[in-house]
Structure 1
Amino acid sequence: MFGLTLVNLAVLGACSMNVYADTLFVKANGYTLNQKQQLQVFDAMLVDDAGKVIATGTQKLLQKKMPQAKLIDLGGKTVLPGLIDAHGHVFGLGTSASQLSLRATSNLTEALSAIKQYAAQATQQQWILGGEWNQAIWKLGRFPTAKELDTVVADRPVWLRRVDGHAGWANSKALALAGITKTSADPVGGKIERDSNGEASGILVDAAMDIIEKVIPAQNDAELRVALDAALKQLRSVGLTTVHDAGVDAQSDKLFREYATQGKLTTRVYGMIGGVDQFFDAVSIAGPLKSHADDRYALRSVKLYSDGALGSRGAALLAPYSDAPHTKGLLFVQDNEMQRMVKKAAAKGYQVNVHAIGDAGNRQVIDALASLPKKNDAQTLRHRIEHAQVLELSDIPRVAKANIIPSMQPTHATSDMNMAEDRVGKERIKGAYAWRTFLKQGSKIPCGSDFPIESPNPFWGIYAAVTRQDHQQMPVKGWHPEQAMTVQEAFRCFTLDAAYAGHQEKILGSLEKGKWADFIVIDQDIFKIPSKDIYKTVVLQTWQAGKQVYVK
């Protein structure tokens, strides 16, 4: 059904008979894609002592060619190339593990109870931090307020980010510490939500969040190491052997380099420098870091922002929101400033990856990237739109024409389906979360999760891409199922296409000769089980460069 064939073993003809192969993995129900995007099967894989694939194929033939190789029996379990998350936040994931999560709350009363309980236990914390709240799920019809937070925690500042990370909820203590009053002006690219009297309500959107966050004590080196260790533990447990970190600063860059050199970076990191300011100016003197410590770390891209998020109505739209006709959202910067930043990064040889959610934000980014000279355009440097969530239908072909890569997160669609169409209406939704439309025009879609906003579990992403349903299989036929992917397409988005989006398709993304032996062993065959069960997949083992880094 999937056009499966045994891998061509002709590559072995080029191998010397006396080459020492460190390990022969046998009894695998293995799948990989080749560079022609064909799905191939194998039951054995030969890996050299450097941790790279020599060949995949049948155990009988590989063992005959390399009889001295050490055997590792995979017990007939399904084996896949290590999965790649093309958009996440590593330190955010690690930090969130120790902070308050309101993701599971179904209403405001539950949320306030959870905040009160957490604060009672976290007596040593100066600030109560966390979030993942979603007023759409609470069915409030509005944002929560500082006064409501004050009823459960009034003596310490509280700052809780919305589930999409583009709005935050503060109590009165936090507002006071940040100096936010009735007369405080909205910053460029941000909004201070206000009550009917003009007082700050406690909700800050996009750039306005910085007013609060600049007074929160920064994490020290020890706390950052704890966060990185926690994140890596979680990432390898869900089968992610590479992630693209969407916002690297000087501190995280230092630790990524150190962990990579020491062999402690058990998930490879492809870094995006956060902005083109001081850190970019300093690090870009040496040019893009294409590879560090056996390809464990790279820093060759830049992350910029055009707008906010749909849930908080911060995404910039060409026409007003269907459910809030008084607003069109916010562009973070004017067009000329976006073009300046894009040109600055690209001129230094960096891939430019720009967050864009709304159709106005996406158009701004397309215009900016399409204006670059050929020597550093999207075809050359593989520039990306991060999220590419809502586009005017006429702008989607422009993405392909300019060779821009739409980097998308399937679980955003299933998380947003309870409010997205309310926000943009029946016509604009046709250009939203439009995976099939992009695939039809030949666009490669690197998939990710935007963790910790969504779960980093890539099988949740594959499930969402294929079914467009939540884990209760709702809606019954999927939400706008005409935009769904096949299992093989979703698998490609989390492997080869994600590797391509990081300039790494020659070393990662599949189990082919000369590539790193990054692979996972899972408990079920995602190509044969009912699609409704894909998200239940459990990772049993994770391997990086032929070395096991996780076992369940």
Structure 2
Amino acid sequence: MAVADGTVVWLGQDTAGRALHPDAEVVDLRGAFVAPAFVDAHVHATSAGLLLTGLDLTGCRSARELLDAVRAAGGALVWGHGWDETRWDGRRPPTRAELDEAAGGRPVYLSRIDVHSALVSTALLDLAPAARDADGFAPDGPLSRASHHHVRGAAKDAIPAATRRAAQDAFLRHAASRGVASVHECAGPDISGLDDLADLLATDLLDVVGYWGAREPVGLPVRGLAGDLFVDGALGSRTAALCSPYADAPDTSGALYLDADAVAEHLVTCTRAGLQGGFHVIGDAAAAAVVEGFDRAAAVVGVPALAARKHRLEHLEMVTAEQAARLGSYGVVASVQPLFDREWGGPDGMYAQRLGVGRGTALNPFSRLAAAGVVLALGSDAPVTSVDPWAAVRAAVHHRTDGSGISPRAAFTAHTRGGWRAAGVDDGLTGTLQPGAPATYAVWRAGELEVSAPDSRVRRWSTDPRSRVPALPALTGPTPECLRTVLRGRVLFDGGALS
């Protein structure tokens, strides 16, 4: 492959390439392979960076381990993330009194793995008095809904700007080291803030596509009023809106923040303004409200105008075949996270605990969405799951529910070209490696990654970027190691192996 001025100008056999470009600088890949760089279509860079630089609770296996981690944490404010009580013996998070004892009088904010609820100390509650009177307040347990937004805002405001920017840089560098050249930052007033988003949009460490999860425009160059504009919450925190109650909490069906009228109004406004709109939607009641909202918006602006904007939906975990078909007809992009299924799917996972096995194993139907013509863009929702693109591709193929996965080629495309398409770049070149395409790629040491073809023969992942992976293989073996990540000819990450 030959690159000039950030663009792929030639692809072919080595001998011919050297003859056509005799004066070129040559990088010997030493058996490594080149592929289009990944796009992570849903991240929260600051929170993900704080997980890298701060208190990581994803490995805690009990309330006692969590409390011990808080005691050992330094700093005047303790910001932690990643606890998941569904994997603990007893499945009980610590009480506020227990957390206060471990905190030693400090403000403590510990987000659950889905970031839709949090454990907080009394000292942090004192910084957010409105949380005590808000929906979702619990006197001795995790806070959710509006109460959670109040305490998260107070904790966020207590983080120095320099600390916040250092966390962002740490995350973006980490993403580049995983072969990611572009991320979609899903910001919003209840998640981060305008200063936070402005810093990210100004970075040159990575390509950052900004989304603002609100219904009002902002004075920043965002791609759209989309991303985490919440129609509902999350299943783990029991705030995803359901048509029937949670199996393990029959007194609740979650929280619906926007109804069909509000969804339609936002879509009409964005369509007329030439903006990409979109929503966070997880539960089946939320999906029903969103689909109805699209129907109503189409009646106002027309299907062609609505589809032209490529409005996007984040997560879209519970969706019927009929709903998928309607969304496909409206040109919808689904930003999905395959590692959700790996972490919480299957008959014994968190989804089944919350919903029962029947409902819990029907989530994240990637094949259904793809068959309906919905554009898929894969992401991590970091810090909810890690930035691990090859693992995400693998999880999209090896779905824990038979029939819900997609082919390796479709999964890889959704994590590369699909991400660019989700952000409005659909020129037929970006996200591919062919003459005329931007030179955005990653170099990988293949290890033993193989694909098993349907005829049971085993073939290695091709080192030719033009080749096509067999139609229905199964990815096996260790994850490839990223050696270099390049964005439009500019090196974002270099592990030194090619020097």
TM-score category of the 2 structures, normalised to the smaller one: 0.7 to 0.9
Q: Displacement of 1:207 after TM fit?
A: 2.3
Q: Is 1:509–2:421 an aligned residue pair?
A: no
Q: 1:137 aligns with which of 62, 80, 87?
A: 87
Q: 1:459 to 1:59 in 2, by over 3 A?
A: same
Q: 2:223 aligns with which of 296, 299, 303?
A: 299
In structure 1, the residue matched to 2:408 is 487
> What SS does the corresponding residue of 1:454 show, helix, strand or coil?
coil
**Deviations, residues 237-282 of structure 1 (Å, cap 9, x unaligned):** 10101111111643234324433xxxxx2321111123133xx243
Q: How many residues align?
A: 461
Distance in 1 between the 2:304 and 2:44 partners?
26
Distance in 1 between the 2:101 and 2:197 partners?
40
Q: Is 1:343–2:265 an aligned residue pair?
A: no
Distance in 2 between the 1:84 and 1:146 partners?
39
Q: Displacement of 1:337 after TM fit?
A: 2.9
Q: 1:434 to 1:130 in 2, by over 3 A?
A: same
**Deviations, residues 157-181 of structure 1 (Å, cap 9, x unaligned):** 2110000110011123323443368
Distance in 1 between the 2:160 and 2:233 partners?
28
Distance in 2 between the 1:94 and 1:157 partners?
20
Q: Displacement of 1:491 after TM fit?
A: 0.7
Q: Displacement of 1:147 after TM fit?
A: 1.9
In structure 2, the residue matched to 1:364 is 289
Distance in 2 between the 1:438 and 1:276 partners?
26
Distance in 1 between the 2:430 and 2:359 partners?
36
Distance in 1 between the 2:478 and 2:425 partners?
27
Q: 1:306 to 1:104 in 2, by over 3 A?
A: same
In structure 2, the residue matched to 1:230 is 170
Q: Displacement of 1:132 after TM fit?
A: 0.6
Q: 2:55 aligns with which of 57, 81, 100?
A: 100
Q: Is 1:47–2:3 an aligned residue pair?
A: yes
**Deviations, residues 81-131 of structure 1 (Å, cap 9, x unaligned):** 11111111122222222221110011112222222122xxx1xx2221112
Q: 1:252 to 1:58 in 2, by over 3 A?
A: farther
Distance in 2 between the 1:402 and 1:370 partners?
9
In structure 1, the residue matched to 2:29 is 74
Structure 1: gaps of 5 or more residues:
1-44, 194-199, 260-264, 284-288, 290-297, 469-478
Q: Displacement of 1:378 after TM fit?
A: 4.2
Structure 2 counterparts to residues 260-271 of structure 1, below 5 A? 265-271=204-210
**Deviations, residues 292-325 of structure 1 (Å, cap 9, x unaligned):** xxxxxx6345331101000111100011112221
Letter in 1 for 2:137: I
Letter in 1 for 2:164: L
Distance in 2 between the 1:499 and 1:349 partners?
18
Q: Displacement of 1:482 after TM fit?
A: 2.2
Q: Is 1:254–2:198 an aligned residue pair?
A: yes
Distance in 2 between the 1:257 and 1:401 partners?
32
> Does the 8 Å contact 2:3/2:489 carry over to 1?
yes
Once the two structures are overlaid, the 10-residue window that deviates more, 396-405 or 324-333, is 396-405
> Does the 8 Å contact 2:450/2:475 carry over to 1?
no
> Does the 8 Å contact 2:201/2:208 carry over to 1?
no
- Quick one: percent identity of the two aligned structures? 26
> What SS does the corresponding residue of 2:267 show, helix, strand or coil?
helix
In structure 1, the residue matched to 2:312 is 384
Letter in 1 for 2:387: P
> What SS does the corresponding residue of 1:386 show, helix, strand or coil?
strand
**Deviations, residues 387-445 of structure 1 (Å, cap 9, x unaligned):** 00112454232222322222110001111221102222344346411112222233221
Q: Displacement of 1:537 after TM fit?
A: 2.1
> What SS does the corresponding residue of 2:171 show, helix, strand or coil?
helix
Structure 2 counterparts to residues 197-208 of structure 1, below 5 A? 200-208=139-147
> What SS does the corresponding residue of 1:72 show, helix, strand or coil?
coil
Q: 2:344 aligns with which of 416, 435, 446?
A: 416
> Does the 8 Å contact 1:311/1:416 carry over to 2?
no
In structure 2, the residue matched to 1:311 is 236
> What SS does the corresponding residue of 2:211 show, helix, strand or coil?
strand
In structure 1, the residue matched to 2:212 is 273
Q: Is 1:454–2:380 an aligned residue pair?
A: no
Q: Is 1:175–2:125 an aligned residue pair?
A: yes
**Deviations, residues 219-239 of structure 1 (Å, cap 9, x unaligned):** 444233212221221011101
In structure 2, the residue matched to 1:23 is none
Q: Is 1:282–2:228 an aligned residue pair?
A: no
Q: Is 1:333–2:258 an aligned residue pair?
A: yes
In structure 1, the residue matched to 2:492 is 549
TM-score, length basis structure 2: 0.86
Structure 2: gaps of 5 or more residues:
452-459, 462-472
Distance in 2 between the 1:511 and 1:436 partners?
26
> Does the 8 Å contact 2:240/2:254 carry over to 1?
yes
> Does the 8 Å contact 1:271/1:301 carry over to 2?
no
TM-score, length basis structure 1: 0.78
**Deviations, residues 15-53 of structure 1 (Å, cap 9, x unaligned):** xxxxxxxxxxxxxxxxxxxxxxxxxxxxxx1111x2111
Letter in 1 for 2:230: Y
- Over the residues paired in the alignment, what is the CA RMSD in angstroms? 2.3
Distance in 1 between the 2:362 and 2:3 partners?
44
Q: Displacement of 1:519 after TM fit?
A: 0.8
Distance in 1 between the 2:377 and 2:450 partners?
19
Distance in 2 between the 1:136 and 1:376 partners?
44
In structure 2, the residue matched to 1:497 is 418
Q: 1:526 to 1:54 in 2, by over 3 A?
A: farther
> Does the 8 Å contact 1:369/1:377 carry over to 2?
no
> Does the 8 Å contact 2:408/2:475 carry over to 1?
no
Letter in 2 for 1:282: G
In structure 2, the residue matched to 1:192 is 137
> Does the 8 Å contact 1:378/1:404 carry over to 2?
no
Distance in 2 between the 1:405 and 1:399 partners?
9
Q: Which structure exhibits the higher relative contact order, with contacts defined as CA atoms closer than 8 Å and separated by 6 or more residues?
A: 2
Q: 1:498 to 1:535 in 2, by over 3 A?
A: farther
Distance in 1 between the 2:201 and 2:316 partners?
30
Q: Decide which structure has the larger Cα Rg and report it.
A: 1
Distance in 2 between the 1:172 and 1:368 partners?
40
**Deviations, residues 184-219 of structure 1 (Å, cap 9, x unaligned):** 4443xxx123xxxxxx11311132212212333344
In structure 1, the residue matched to 2:480 is 537
Q: Displacement of 1:505 after TM fit?
A: 3.1
Distance in 2 between the 1:427 and 1:377 partners?
38
